[in-house]
Amino acid sequence: MKTGTAADHDKLPAVIVVLAGGVGAARYLRGVLRVVSPDDVTIIGNTGDDFRIYGVHVSPDLDIVTYTLTGRIDEEKGWGLAGDTTVLLDEMRAAGLNAWFHLGDRDFGVCLARTEMLAAGASLSDATARISERFGLAPRLLPMTDDEVGTRVVLANGEDVHFQEYWVGRKAADPVRSVYLGGADTSRPAPGVVDAIASASAILIAPSNPVVSIGTILAVPGIREALTASSARVVGVSPIVGGAPVRGMADKLMPAAGAPVTAVGAALLLRDVLDGYVIDLVDENLAGDVEALGLDVAVAQTMMRTVEDAAALAKVALTMTEHR
Ligand code: FO1
């Protein structure tokens, strides 16, 4: 076991790939970008949360990462644009619509731009690159796939709903039977994804939901295989601290995926692609159980209250990616 205070390191690996979900990943990435050059970073973003609503294509995780890394995020919510207005939503609600998904006006504009680009024949990768450029996002952000996929949640009563309906619409109140990525079978990794993984000198898995964020990225045929074939070491950070998710609904979904809601359970779900795992200081007693899965373990402060915390955490993970 390596106990992880962030060692001072001037030779951190170049060409870093980060698998990322939403809010937790974006905060972690802020730390990664404190310790390595953005030119060396490729982010592979989850698009399982994508869906169409109010006539637009929303890519929540890609947008959360873009807005956070360019200083535009609504810090309190962790999603949406800071200072955004709600004229469009207010008008829809005034007309009696059940506008349950909160999309601010500017955020709406971003999603509408994406929708128009897609309608004109652009791929999601093209649209993402153009939106990244508009926001001045420095690292490369790739969607996991250009194909239409959607995370589906099968409820205990047999209903099969989109992830956003389960999480935002129904506030994760319904018991869950299983989760799967709809459209996964025929999806392919987006251009650049497999190459980035193959040429990476380090691969990080952000502290994102192991079922609906990282699990969905791994569900795109070819990505899991690229990770296991890569010579780079793959190091994750547990999103579960003290037996509960830092944010989100992993506690509702991990049992449905057959894993206990612990750092060990999170590691279990990703063990086939991981070489190392960073768990929180409060979970130090679980280090042996994670090691028993065949993984290197570091115990570190994983709660990211400041960008400095995130940078220290990123250093611990990056140091673990170096070959022993
Ligand atoms: N999360 C909510 O809890 N309620 C919302 O109304 C909501 C709207 C929304 C709009 C745009 C966007 O990019 C994200 C949004 N989110 C909202 C966050 C999102 O549902 C999830 O947290 C992510 O998909 C999980 O990473």
pLDDT tens for residues 169-200?
Answer: 999 999 999 999 999 999 999 999 999 999 99
* pLDDT digit string, tens, across residues 2-24: 333 334 444 556 689 999 999 99
Domain coordinates of the chain in residue numbers?
16-320
* pLDDT digit string, tens, across residues 205-259: 999 999 999 999 999 999 999 999 999 999 999 999 999 999 889 999 999 999 9
What's the rounded Cα separation, in Å, for the pair 227 and 234? 8
C-alpha 297 to ligand 1 mean position (Å): 32
Domain 16-320 classification at class level: alpha beta
Ligand 1 contacts (CB < 6 A) are 21-22, 49, 58, 60-61, 63-64, 79-80, 101-103, 107, 164, 167-168
First to last CA, the chain: 13
Q: How much is the pLDDT for 1?
A: 43
The answer to whether 293 touches 268, Cβ cutoff 8 Å, is: yes
C-alpha 61 to ligand 1 mean position (Å): 8
What's the rounded Cα separation, in Å, for the pair 237 and 254? 16
What's the rounded Cα separation, in Å, for the pair 51 and 55? 10
* pLDDT digit string, tens, across residues 45-55: 999 999 999 99
